[in-house]
Structure 1
């Protein structure tokens, strides 16, 4: 089934441009000519849409209000939202992030940036959705586990492990999202040493997965693993994640960043900290992180 995008903008020319730039990517595109129209479509069929592109400034119901309503809806709150805006002031960007915006596009934007951002949003959402469905099929026998030590190498194993461990947590859907982001970070930025700038370029060139597989096959990475220690007590659940990389500057990724607002990635750690865990603590140089859930 084709991923379905909802695009809301009161400017007909912008709607036509976005449709033209995305039409050959295999998406089903639904158009809304204003915010109220967008909300009506979303509320009527909340399970239909995989990503929403909203104009920040629309008459009547603006993009921020549509976003607010989505975040208060049980189903729509998980759908990624891309804001397209000409308002690039720090205050406006932070307001959007705090309201729940996932990605930003600034007008005018390049076709490549639009396509890369939409692809990144869809990939993240469909991965999270797949994990949530897997959680509901996971056996509850693991609820008996108090401690466990796990090792994995690649993205597929990371997703499987995140799904498995999240299933024994009080809020498995939210835990799975953050755990997946941390495990993926340990593989790509830790063991495989893909820098932030390199990932930005790879996503824009649509070569991220290719590069991940290439580096995974290099002899120097053949034996590298990520370890996850799981511990559960009466008061909390702890995940200690350690990769074999040289570490990274984790401090700059713990909060929202205006400088990274228009990048198609870079939100995973902040998302894990604010959405999935009660406490997130990195240990310098950045190749070990402790994620804690209070019970």
Structure 2
């Protein structure tokens, strides 16, 4: 029998740790608990300790939880563990800081058990996909750096994700570009071509039916011939990514900023976060079925404009 998935819950409130452990036990996870960064590091460093996911409070008695995350990233055996930040703050700036550090999962308290379980599973799934592609990415990154002009066609979320990971080494912005590019490519498939709106996606995710619905729509007569395109233009000073889908567009203004109204949703922040941390400029054209993302190559990664 396979070992149970182990989650490390790092929070200075005993009640919060107990509640999270209860939520995760319902999907078969075992949990370890830590009150401080120091205790968490001791657990992570223990010989033979296998942690599959970390739920990390942003504000701890002995400092910022992001500092523990950054410490983990410096250790090869810990760097790939998915980390979910949980906090009371729904500040867009705080969320952007976490994303820049490489944390792509962010829960605003209070949240319910269904949301937590959904995010934990999503973190594990995404990390698994990234790991499976890392070897190929290393072998292809030098060649991608030679790209000056290219047109790519894609249909599925998996193709969108693969394309984002493959192309992200074209600019030296690391995780942020991978995240930002994957968000606008997947958005072109799910929301653009397949017409899965915000409310519908929320219902499907809550019921665990999103993947099944995507596959059904991809195979349907209405959508099976649709595709999206990515045009990449690289100069000495910048890279321009133009993504075009075959959908009817959407109210993109609603999703260009992160605010409290989206803090309890399992989705809906991707475009705002892509704009904040993935690109120097992100502009939707016309009715929203075309988006242009620009990355400047003549600036340091930390100088990205919000």
Counterpart check, 1:199 vs 2:201? yes
Total equivalences in the alignment: 284
Q: Distance in 1 between matches of 2:117 and 2:162?
A: 28
Per-residue CA deviation, residues 155-198 of structure 1 (Å, 9 max, x unaligned), is: 22212222222233334543222211111111001101111111
CA-to-aligned-CA distance 1:209-261 (integer Å, 9 cap, x gap): 11111111111101100011111111111111000111112222222211111
Q: Give the equivalent residue in structure 2 for 1:67.
A: 66
> Can you give the 5+ residue segments of structure 2 that lack an aligned partner in the other structure?
100-104, 298-306
CA distance in 2: counterparts of 1:273 and 1:130, whole angstroms? 26
Q: 1:150 to 1:279 in 2, by over 3 A?
A: same
CA contact (8 A) 2:7 2:51 kept: yes
Deviations 1:28-84 (A, max 9, x none): 533213443224445779x965543234665x226xx11244257645699432315
1:53 alignment counterpart: 55
Aligned-pair CA distance for 1:20: 3.2
Q: CA deviation at 1:135?
A: 1.6
Change over 3 Å in CA distance of 1:164–1:106 after alignment to 2:
closer
The residue that corresponds to 2:90 in the other structure is: 93
**1:280 aligned residue (279, 282, 296):** 282
Runs (5+) with no aligned partner, structure 1:
none
Q: Using structure 2 for the length normalisation, give the TM-score.
A: 0.79
Partner of 1:233: 235
Give the Cα separation in 2 of the matches to 1:3 and 1:169.
35
Quick one: structure 1 residues 66 and 252, their matched pair in 2 at CA, closer, same or farther if it must change by over 3 Å? same
- State the secondary structure of the residue aligned to 2:266: coil
Q: TM-score, normalised by structure 1?
A: 0.82
- What is the Cα-based RMSD across aligned positions, in Å? 3.0
- On the 8 A contact 1:225/1:244 being kept in 2, the answer is yes
Between the aligned partners of 1:151 and 1:171, the Cα distance in structure 2 is: 24
C-alpha contact (below 8 Å) 1:105/1:114 kept by paired residues = no
Matched, 1:80 2:80: no
Of 122-131 and 189-198, deviating more is 122-131
**Paired residues of 1:55 and 1:83 also in contact (CA < 8 A):** yes
